[in-house]
Amino acid sequence: MREFIEKPNLPQGAVNLAISGEMPLFLKNFLESRNIKILTCKNNEFIDSAVKSHADMSAVHIGMDKIIVDKQQQELICTLKDEGFNVINSADIISGEYPDDIKLNVALFGNNAIGALRYSDSNLMLQIESFRKYNVKQGYAKCSVLPLSENALITDDESIYNALKNAADILLVSKGDISLAGHNYGFIGGASCKISRDEILFFGDLRAHRNSAEILSFLDKHNHKAVFFENQPLYDIGGLVTLCEI
């Protein structure tokens, strides 16, 4: 029986419902093989074309049935309501250049919230009032964080690493080996997500990353395993906003 994921980005069962934008065919086929239903996030034509299809720019799962969505994503909002979600519209439309585009790009995991919070949407801030907050320079925080648990995560951003290094076991990896059209590189959080209690899905070949050995060792330390696709570029697609599990 399908259940809402209690703590954002930290499923305890097998994920079977998520939000995503555009993705490569190999990834779509894999998600279908794992019975993970994808709700489509429409392209946001009012932000940088490189991230216009990224779900992490348009939706934030707060936990259980609660989710905040860019209020211009009306089709997605209607679909989420049909799926039983308590949808909270963003206070603002997500549009324009940085930092106006990052209002929902906050990394939540467990009771933790990481982001350039001074730019975050006011309705989002109301919903995470009780969260432990880490205010960092990196505005694309959700793109830059891969959480394994409430106390362990991987990041490719130094400001996030410095903010959390005394509060969690955190692995800092290099930038530069993840594909993002129109930019020199993408980010680790946009190229991966947790798809079960102990599985991390990478959107391409993890071995293409210069720190793949360190990543695999860190996953093993925390009793996680990597799922990846051999001989495929490692893509930043804006992650998956995981919602439900079985």
- Find, among 42, 106, 26, the residue nearest to 79 by Cα: 42
- Find, among 243, 187, 197, 242, the residue nearest to 219 by Cα: 197
- Give the integer Cα–Cα distance in Å for 97 and 201: 30
Q: How far is CA 176 from CA 14, 15, 167, 195, in A?
A: 30, 29, 26, 24
Q: pLDDT (tens digit, 9 = 90+) per residue, 179-213?
A: 998 899 999 999 999 999 999 999 999 999 999 99
- DSSP secondary structure code for residue 41 in this structure: P
Predicted local distance difference test score (pLDDT) of residue 1: 77
Residues 6+ apart with CB under 8 A from 151: 168, 169
Burial of 64 (0-12, 13-18, 19+ CB in 10 A): middle
Predicted local distance difference test score (pLDDT) of residue 9: 98
Contacts of residues 119-125 at CB distance under 8 Å and 24 or more positions apart, as own/partner, are 121/68, 121/90, 121/91, 121/92, 122/91, 122/92, 123/68, 123/88, 123/89, 123/90, 123/91, 124/60, 124/68, 124/90
| Buried-exposed string 87-103: b where 16+ CB fall within 10 A, e elsewhere | bbbbebbbeeeeeebbb
Confirm if 173 and 211 have CB atoms less than 8 A apart.
yes
pLDDT in tens, the chain (246 residues): 789 999 999 999 999 999 999 999 999 999 999 999 999 999 999 999 999 999 999 999 999 999 999 999 999 999 999 999 999 999 999 999 999 999 999 999 999 999 999 999 999 999 999 999 999 999 999 999 999 999 999 999 999 999 999 999 999 999 989 999 889 999 999 999 999 999 999 999 999 999 999 999 999 999 999 999 999 999 999 999 999 999
One DSSP character per residue, 145-207 reads EEEEETTEEEES-HHHHHHHTTTSEEEE--SSSSB-TTSS---TGGGEEEEETTEEEESS-GG
Predicted local distance difference test score (pLDDT) of residue 182: 86
The count of other CB atoms within 10 Å of the CB of residue 146 is: 28
Predicted local distance difference test score (pLDDT) of residue 152: 98
Predicted local distance difference test score (pLDDT) of residue 166: 96
Predicted local distance difference test score (pLDDT) of residue 178: 97
Residues 6+ apart with CB under 8 A from 1: 246
Q: pLDDT (tens digit, 9 = 90+) per residue, 22-31?
A: 999 999 999 9
